[in-house]
């Protein structure tokens, strides 16, 4: 790939050609059809190759940029400025057994920008399993599942300045472009900086700044309203073997450092949101470990563990990710990786996300929890409410809670389980039908409160009325309920109206 800057004029022309040919997410989906698109998602190219034969423009572009199939040079030249693209390092012209062909040196895929305009993401071609090849050390990974997880997490804009640390192919910077007046995207890998620049230029995103360097180094002294990172979080003995997923910091330090240094780069009220892996060891509790990273910043935060893998599962996942399954080195690497985990006392690895908000002036609250079930996506639009709910609940003393006006949150329903015909249920569960879709087992008093509280009356008198109705002592109900209600507020079942 060429080291020189990708010419702006060439980017504009290529963007025009791609859009004209309907090389867009919907255009490609329609062209391939459901079965071929599903096969592609399984890394099977044959149905897509069959669906894109001939010399029609969209089929040619798909074969070249997506399916990595060389196309005849004559046909390519009729559609694309081949020589300029070759000079810029995006394609190569080769002599093949059936004549001159053009081969792509990058993967160029269509992308839907959040404002509805078509965009494009440029990365290194994916190394396919079973080919015997492994990624190069400075491989630039395309937008994958982890990228999508982070993008669903990003809080809504608009904001003034946003930063993407470890931009890779630039996919998060594209997400930030719809939220921020100014976007800065950084990466340690100079090839990533270049490819991210091409993704942004082809997507018509003007004015984003790209910078090469480690973590926050390139933005020394700068502050942002929103920082996102899908960092190289893989915990491995071979640090930095693959820059796209491993840093040169030991264990889970890269994630801890991103969090630790965030406040120095956040405006007041600014958010930092990262994906992370963290160590589970005999020595400490993961909640204290990761919660401690956030508490140490003085910011409010929310740490969510979405999955935990044992060491063997983890090693297999990442050896498969780098297509090393079945290679002669596989067993040795697997063994060495497990040795490392054993030496370090690592019993498992947590996968999740960390969001922190720089609200140091207020009483910062950090919520740490495990959520393994399916939740409403995207999380970003309701994420600030989750952090605010936890903060509000923590601040309320019992007395303040009894005089507060509280309302049941929208979308909460009640489930009663019991023997058919029995006068009382065996259990009552409040369940959120949207958002985090939590369920909470509650007592009769909280269930009754959920049925009547709409924010018009304070909690205390409502509890008195409920106590009278169920024949319990009012003072006991007033004393017993605040703790449970506080938890229900912090989990989003109730909201404090005033």
State in angstroms the smallest separation of the CB of 375 from ligand SAM: 20
- Tell me whether residue 72 or residue 144 sits nearer to ligand SAM (CB atom): 144
Q: Least CB distance from residue 218 to ligand SAM, whole Å?
A: 9
397: left (phi over 0), alpha (psi -120 to 50) or beta: beta
Closer CB to ligand SAM, residue 118 or residue 231? 231
The minimum distance between CB 385 and ligand SAM, in angstroms, equals 25
Indicate the angle between helix axes 286-295 and 253-261, nearest 10 degrees. Answer: 30
- Beta carbon of residue 317, minimum distance to ligand SAM (angstroms, whole number): 14
DSSP-derived 3-state class of residue 163: strand
Kindly tell me which of 135 and 231 has the beta carbon lying closer to ligand SAM. Answer: 231
Strand pairing class (209-212; 180-187): parallel
**Nearest distance from C-beta of residue 171 to ligand SAM, angstroms:** 5
Residues across the chain: 498
Minimum distance between the CB of residue 112 and ligand SAM, rounded to whole angstroms?
A: 16
> Taking the complex as a whole, how short is the minimal distance between the CB of residue 274 and ligand SAM, in angstroms?
10
Q: 5: number of CA atoms within 13 Å, CB side?
A: 7
What are the φ/ψ torsions at residue 115 (nearest 5 degrees)?
-85, 10
Cα 227 to chain centroid distance, Å, stands at 12
Nearer to ligand SAM, 10 or 215 (CB): 215
Residue 149 C-alpha from the chain's centroid: 3
How many angstroms separate the CA atoms of 134 and 328, rounded? 12
- Distance between CA 448 and CA 355 in Å, rounded? 34
168/311 with CB nearer ligand SAM: 168
Q: Are 258 and 233 in contact (CB under 8 A)?
A: no
Nearer residue to ligand SAM within complex by CB, 108 or 171: 171
**CA angle 188–378–392, rounded 5-degree value:** 100
Q: Residue 376, SS3?
A: coil
Residues 6+ apart with CB under 8 A from 180: 157, 158, 159, 160, 161, 162, 225, 226
> Is the CB of 36 or the CB of 171 nearer to ligand SAM?
171
Shortest separation between residue 236's beta carbon and ligand SAM, angstroms? 13
Q: Which DSSP category does 335 fall into?
A: H
Task: Compute the least distance from the CB of residue 329 to ligand SAM, in Å.
Answer: 22
Q: What is the DSSP letter of 22?
A: T
By beta-carbon proximity to ligand SAM, the closer residue of 254 and 406 is 254
For ligand SAM, the closer of residues 165 and 449 by Cβ is: 165
Q: Which residues of 107-117 are buried (b: 16+ CB within 10 A; e: fewer)?
A: bbbbbebeeee
CA distance 259 to 215: 11
Applying CB under 6 A, which residues contact ligand SAM? 141, 143, 147, 150, 165-168, 171-172, 187-189, 192, 214-215, 230-232, 243-245, 247
DSSP state of 247: -
């Amino acid at each position: 790939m060429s080291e020189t800057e990708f010419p702006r004029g060439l980017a504009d022309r290529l963007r025009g050609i791609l859009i004209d040919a309907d090389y867009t997410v919907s255009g490609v989906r329609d062209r391939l059809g459901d079965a071929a698109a599903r096969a592609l998602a399984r890394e099977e190219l044959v149905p897509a190759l069959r669906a894109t034969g001939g010399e029609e423009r969209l089929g040619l572009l798909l074969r070249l940029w997506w399916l990595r199939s060389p196309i005849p040079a004559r046909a390519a030249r009729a559609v694309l400025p081949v020589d300029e693209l070759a000079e810029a390092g995006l394609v190569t012209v080769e002599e093949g057994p059936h004549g001159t062909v053009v081969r792509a040196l990058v993967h160029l895929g269509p992308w839907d920008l959040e404002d509805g305009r078509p965009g494009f993401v440029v990365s290194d071609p994916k190394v396919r399993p079973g080919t015997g090849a492994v990624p190069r050390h400075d491989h630039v990974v395309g937008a994958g599942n982890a990228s999508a997880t982070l993008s669903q997490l990003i809080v809504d804009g608009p904001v003034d300045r946003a930063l993407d640390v470890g931009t890779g192919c630039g996919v998060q910077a594209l997400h930030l472009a719809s939220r921020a007046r100014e976007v800065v995207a950084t990466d340690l890998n100079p090839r990533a900086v270049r490819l991210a620049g091409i993704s942004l230029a082809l997507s018509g995103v003007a004015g984003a700044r790209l910078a090469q360097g480690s973590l926050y180094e390139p933005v020394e002294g700068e502050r942002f309203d929103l920082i996102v990172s899908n960092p190289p979080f893989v915990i491995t003995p071979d640090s930095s073997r693959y820059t796209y997923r491993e840093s040169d910091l030991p264990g889970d330090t890269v994630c801890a450092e991103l969090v630790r240094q965030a406040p120095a780069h956040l405006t007041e009220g600014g958010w930092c949101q990262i994906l992370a892996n963290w160590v589970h060891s005999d020595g400490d509790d993961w909640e204290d470990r990761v919660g401690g990273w956030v508490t140490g910043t003085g910011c409010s935060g929310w740490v969510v563990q979405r999955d935990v893998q044992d060491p063997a599962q983890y090693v297999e996942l990442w050896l498969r990710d780098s297509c090393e399954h079945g290679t002669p080195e596989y067993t040795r690497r697997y063994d060495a990786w497990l040795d490392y985990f054993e030496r370090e006392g690592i019993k498992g690895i947590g996968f999740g996300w960390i969001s922190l908000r720089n609200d140091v002036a207020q009483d910062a609250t950090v919520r740490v929890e495990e959520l393994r079930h399916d939740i409403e996506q995207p999380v970003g639009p309701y994420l600030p409410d989750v952090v605010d709910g936890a903060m509000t609940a923590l601040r309320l003393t019992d007395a303040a809670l009894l005089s507060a006006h509280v309302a049941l949150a929208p979308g909460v329903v009640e489930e009663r389980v019991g023997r058919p015909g029995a006068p009382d249920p065996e259990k009552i569960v409040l369940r959120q039908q949207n958002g985090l879709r939590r369920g909470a087992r509650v007592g009769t008093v909280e269930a009754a409160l959920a049925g009547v509280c709409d924010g018009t009356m304070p909690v205390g008198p409502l509890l008195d009325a409920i106590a009278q109705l169920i024949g319990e002592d009012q003072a006991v109900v007033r004393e017993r309920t605040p703790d449970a209600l506080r938890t229900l507020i912090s989990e989003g079942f109730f909201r404090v109206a005033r």
